[in-house]
Amino acid sequence: MFISNAYAQSTDALGLGGNLTSFLPLVLMFVVMYFLMIRPQQKRAKEQKAMMDALAKGDEVVTAGGILGKVSKVTDVYVTLEVSPGNEIIVQKPSITTLLPKGTLKAL
């Protein structure tokens, strides 16, 4: 009387295609996120690792804390920096962020 009969809906090609197109924006969002966020971070990490592996005595570097120095000794984990004549500090390799061009630090 007040309640109408409920009938099952048929599954046609349009219903199935509609479900696939509803996931398309989600897939596109992940693709854009990969190219804008994940890929550049991986590239930067690869460049940073190559720079740390190529460190040699005499290179001029900047640490994450902003300390400028000339590399005087390199080990597997640590780097000894000469920050002024006669003053050396030991820092971890990952704390070195930038390799400066030769001759940047004239005072050393």
* Three-class SS state of 103: coil
Q: How confident is the model at residue 92 (pLDDT cuts 50, 70, 90)?
A: very high
The first and second tokens of residue 96, run together, are 């070195």
Q: What is the DSSP letter of 36?
A: I
Q: What is the DSSP letter of 60?
A: E
Instruction: Give the side-chain half-sphere CA count within 13 A for 63.
Output: 18
pLDDT tens string 4-61:
887 877 655 455 556 778 888 899 999 999 999 999 999 999 999 999 999 999 999 9
